[in-house]
Structure 1
Amino acid sequence: MKVVIEDHLKKLGVTLAYTVVEFENETYSEKIWQELLNPLLQTIEEKDSIERIKDDEAMIATKKVYRALGKDPARFRPSSDSLWRRVIQKKGLYQINSLVDLNNYFSLKYKLPFGSYDAAKIAGEIRLGVGQEGESYSGIGKKAVNIENLMVLIDAAGAFGSPTSDSTRAMISDHTSQGLIVGYLFGGTDAAAMQKDIAVLVESYLKNGKVVEQGIV
């Protein structure tokens, strides 16, 4: 899989860590919830606060890039911010399917935006670029997502994902058998160590999970 980042985003310190995995998706994985998500959610509810989000180094670095691109991170929150706030406010997480649930665990653990996509619905090279003026796409659970000035993943068919909200085109379904997990990094994270951890968790917690490829760009 070829994944590239536009030069001006590289200069802002943006990195992508991606993992391609083959697996059998499940509507619900008790193992993921009981061993990973529930303990983490409990810890966050008991120990974290909105102030901690504001002071978190990864969150500060993420929002700095948003502002540099002209996107207000208070209106278009990084998914890691939205998830973290939701848990602190004791609203819980939606249970979707095993890959999406594991994706949310990664985001909460590393305090970074993560997206998971159906690799069969992605065409050709993947490029991390910036949405153009007036551009939008159909978002998951939303009629439209304004991606103008927002970092977006782009393939031959156009934009399909972002660190704020993903499109419906490449969304994970119960029938997805090859997934692409993308972590959006903004400096200060040990990407290599994170990728090793992700590989272990993917193969341990996704049914018949097998890492096909990993990369850091």
Structure 2
Amino acid sequence: MEMAIATDLKDLIPHFKIGFIQYQDICVSESPQMVKGRLQLFQESLFFEFEDKKVTDFPGIQEWRQIFKKTGKDPNRYRHSAEALYRRVQKQNYLTPINSAIDLNNFFSLQYQIPIGAYDSNKLNGPISIRLGHEEEEYLGLNGRMNSLHRLILSADNESAFGSPFVDSEKTAVTEATKNAIQIVYLQPSLETEKAEKMTASLANMFTQIHGGTAEWKVSE
């Protein structure tokens, strides 16, 4: 499956980067104790950092807030998904396990302070474009609401938009029935390409250690 970043988005945000990982023949299940333990421990450790830090003091969180501003979205109203996770932890409303893929995705997002989307690729009709949403675009999100996508960064296949660093759609959600998937990693534009590649490879390797199968990855900018 091919993926491309729209030219106008690259022009608007210099050094915009996406890590794109494709998985085949994976087995999604209840998270192993190792994943549950890491996720819980990281959240507990992060909570204590809020004694002398605000959510916006974390550089990755702040950088993605600035990206939303550049695209014309108020980051106080449209909080990117990594910031939303951080604010949950700040309130000690810790994430509870869902399945191995989503739990690992959330762990990566918390660790690297960036939005990351995971999608069932059997529900997609490629190729995929990363672009800004049009005025009338919307979808039913995992937040249970219809979400306007106007001026939001989004992922779309040949049929419609399915993901965003704000909230993903219901139609491509990863479940225990998922056998093939993709991850879209919304890397920090300030991250050097070599470090971005190492991070993306690390995500892919850990994902296949848990889920089996194979992974192909690349960083596009």
Match of 1:2 in 2: 2
CA distance in 1 between counterparts of 2:105 and 2:71 reads: 25
Q: Distance in 1 between matches of 2:109 and 2:217?
A: 17
Counterpart amino acid of 2:71?
L
Contact conserved, 2:185 with 2:200, CA < 8 A, in 1?
A: no
191, 206, 210: which is aligned to 2:214?
210
2:131 to 106, 111, 129: 129
For residue 115 of structure 2, the aligned residue among 113, 137, 143 is 113
Q: Secondary structure at the match of 1:39?
A: helix
What does the per-residue CA deviation read over 1:53-84, in whole Å, with 9 as the maximum and x for residues that have no partner? 21222222211121111111111110000001
The alpha-carbon distance between structure 1 residues 82 and 144, as it changes in their structure 2 partners (threshold 3 A), is same
Alignment of 1:177-216 (within 5 A): 177-189=179-191, 190-206=195-211, 208-211=212-215, 213-216=216-219
Within-5 A mapping of 1:18-37: 18-22=20-24, 23-34=26-37, 36-37=38-39
Shift, 1:21, TM fit: 1.6
User: Shift of the alpha carbon at 1:29?
Assistant: 2.6
After superposition, what is the alpha-carbon deviation per residue over 1:87-124, rounded to whole angstroms, capped at 9, x for unaligned? 12100103211101100011000000000000111111
Is 1:49–1:88's contact at 8 Å kept on the other side of the alignment?
no
* Alpha-carbon distance between aligned partners in 1 of 2:49 and 2:198, rounded to the nearest angstrom: 25
Aligned Cα root-mean-square deviation (Å) = 1.6
TM-score (norm 2): 0.91
Matches within 5 A, 1:92-107: 92-107=94-109
Aligned residue pairs total 214
1:202 partner amino acid: F
Letter in 1 for 2:4: V
Distance in structure 1 (CA, Å) of the matches to 2:155 and 2:52: 29
Contact 1:50–1:85 (8 Å) recurs in 2:
no
Amino acid in the other structure paired with 2:214: K
State how far apart, in whole Å, the 2-side matches of 1:59 and 1:215 are. 23
Asked if structure 2 preserves the Cα contact closer than 8 Å seen for 1:58 and 1:188, the reply is no
Of 19-28 and 110-119, more deviation after overlay is shown by 19-28
Conserved? CA contact 2:143–2:167, under 8 Å: no
Which structure has more strand as a fraction of its residues? 1
Query: Does the CA-based 8 Å contact 2:68-2:74 persist in structure 1?
Result: yes
How far is 1:50 from its partner?
8.4
Contact 2:197 2:218 in 1 (8 A): no
Structure 1 residue 201, shift from structure 2 partner: 1.0
3-state DSSP class of the match of 2:168? coil
What is the identity percentage for the equivalent residue pairs of Structure 1 and Structure 2? 27
* 2-structure distance, mates of 1:49, 1:163: 27
CA distance in 2, matches of 1:16, 1:157: 21
Paired with 1:99 and 1:150, the residues of 2 have a C-alpha distance of 25
1:50–1:88 Cα contact (<8 Å) kept: no
* Structure 1, unaligned runs of 5 or more: none
Unaligned residue ranges in structure 2 (runs of 5+): none
Name the residue aligned to 1:155: 157
- The TM-score normalised by the length of structure 1 is 0.92
Q: Partner of 1:181: helix, strand, or coil? A: strand
